[in-house]
Copies of this chain bind each other. A is one copy, B any other.
Amino acid sequence: MSEVYAARRARLRERCHAGGSAAALVTRPANVRYLAGASPRGAALLLARHEDILLCQSPPGDQPYEGRLDEALRVQVLSQPSGGDPAVAAADLAQSQGADSLAVEEHHLTVARHRALASVAPRLRLRDLGNAVEQLRVVKDEEEISLLRIGAEIADQALGELLESILVGRTERHLALELERRLVDHGADGPAFPTSVATGPNAGRRGHRPTDRRVEEGDFLSVCLGASYRGYRCELGRTFVIGTSPADWQIQLYDLVFAAQRAGREALVPGVACRDVDRAARQVLEAAGFGEHLTPLTGHGVGLENDEDPQLSPSAMGKLDACVPVTIEPGVHIPGRGGVRIDDTLVVRPEADGGPELLTITTKELLAL
């Protein structure tokens, strides 16, 4: 793996040089992990003129789900208890090595930390690295996709087991906790994001935080979960009906959201504009009169973070390349009544390779549980 990380850093270095900076400082944890293999808490990665150095307050751990640090990387552990901020120490080091400018992540560094950097290294011109690392992260390699695939299998298993148990009378919070335990049972590092379980009038709300409401007969039940596997975070969302048979309005609403989600999935071809994928799903719901209640996104990228670039929204710029994993997750929530969300993680693939690769394979038939 060491060559993979070195190659990623080389690509970033090229971009920095093109932008006029000899050195770069990466502090956002997911970006550090992408370039170094692991991101010990508070660590800062310095791409200096001659060498890359990871500065941190405590030595990197050795658990697989914390990531394995690239062994080729020089590590400098700041001495305790004084310690201090690794980013500040990195700026100091860059200046002492003769760098005249340093590109930093202004969307991650706070004003106070940025000032501390400027103060310790007054001869260093601080520039903005911008989202350079996030942009590198958008297209995944097959190793990254295989980690997402395993995470998706774990999420499918956890959800499948839950559906075999009795649900009526249990609270949203307990169901969410049980799903998270099952994720870990099946080998996840942990949940990819806080598991959402929404029942009855809560069903279909994106990012709903589980409450103490209990599952009742006749409820919609919508679940959104994901496994983090070696740092990679997939996402799976389904909606079910509790009881012997769904009501007519439930079937109609479900069919509508299913059609929207399918339209989004089918729009996933290399080169498609992000906003066109969004529109494919969104217009099905708008045509049925639900335009007002829609969430701003109908999907987003996944990887080392759950909610990363690209965004699938009406105002999104850019196109989707092959090997970009995204969620397709339209939903409708009717205040007071509940609603439906259906959410898959897929990888954009050329038609010659079989078209979009579905990672989350739990059925999307409307199950009555």
Q: How far apart are the CA atoms of A106 and B173 in the complex, in Å?
A: 36
Give the interface SS of chain A, mostly helix, strand, loop or mixed: loop
Q: A177 to B173, Cβ gap below 8 A?
A: no
Instruction: Tell me the chain A residues, 267-325 only, with Cβ under 8 Å from chain B.
Output: 294-296, 313-315
Q: Is the CB of A107 within 8 A of B107?
A: no
Specify which chain B residues have a CB less than 8 angstroms from the CB of A114 in the assembled complex: 111
- Contacts A61-B209, A177-B180, A314-B81 given; indicate if A109 touches B107 (C-beta within 8 A): no
Q: How far does the alpha carbon of A294 sit from the alpha carbon of B83 in the complex, in Å?
A: 13
Separation in Å of the A213 CB from the closest CB of chain B? 10
Contact between chains at A63 and B111 (CB < 8 Å): no
Complex Cα distance A66/B108, Å?
Answer: 26
**A interface residue count range (under 10 / 10 to 19 / 20 to 34 / 35 or more):** 20 to 34
CB pair B109–A110 under 8 Å, yes or no, is yes
Candidates B177, B211, B296; contact of A80 at CB < 8 Å: B296
The A150-184 residues at the B interface (CB cut-off 8 A) are 173-174, 177, 180-181, 184
Tell me the chain A residues, 72-88 only, with Cβ under 8 Å from chain B: 80-83
User: Given A81-B296, A107-B112, A177-B181, A63 and B313 touching (CB < 8 A)?
Assistant: no
The answer to whether A81 touches B112, judged by C-beta atoms less than 8 angstroms apart, is no
Please report the C-alpha to C-alpha distance between residue A112 and residue B110 in the assembled complex, in whole angstroms.
8
Q: Are A81 and B313 in contact (CB under 8 A)?
A: yes
What 0/1 pattern do residues 47 to 67 of A give for CB contact below 8 A with B?
A: 000000000000001010010
CB-CB under 8 A from A82, the residues of chain B are: 315
Q: Which residue of B lies closest to A108 (CB)?
A: B110
Which residues on the B side are within 8 Å of A209 (C-beta)? 61, 63, 66
Do B110 and A296 touch across chains, with their CB atoms under 8 A apart? Answer: no
With both beta carbons as reference points, the residue of chain B lying nearest to A174 in the complex is identified as B184
| Nearest Cβ on chain B to A179's Cβ, whole angstroms | 11
Task: Give Cα A209 to B294, complex, Å.
Answer: 39
Q: Please give, as numbers and ranges, the residues of chain B lying within 8 Å of A295 by CB-CB distance.
A: 80-81
Q: What chain B residues lie within 8 Å of A107 (beta carbons)?
A: 110-112
Shortest C-beta distance, A30 to chain B (Å), equals 15
Complex Cα distance A39/B115, Å?
27
A115 — which chain B residues lie within 8 A by C-beta? Answer: 106
Q: Identify 13 residue pairs between A and B in the complex whose beta-carbon atoms are under 8 Å apart, listed by A's number.
A: A80-B295, A81-B294, A81-B313, A81-B314, A81-B315, A82-B315, A83-B296, A107-B110, A107-B111, A109-B110, A109-B111, A110-B111, A174-B184
- Supply 19 further A-B pairs (C-beta < 8 A) apart from A81-B313, A81-B314: A61-B209, A63-B209, A63-B211, A66-B209, A80-B296, A81-B294, A81-B295, A81-B315, A104-B111, A106-B110, A106-B115, A107-B111, A109-B111, A110-B110, A111-B111, A112-B128, A173-B184, A177-B180, A177-B181
Task: Enumerate the 3 nearest inter-chain pairs by beta-carbon distance, A residue then B residue, closest first.
Answer: A81-B296, A106-B111, A107-B112
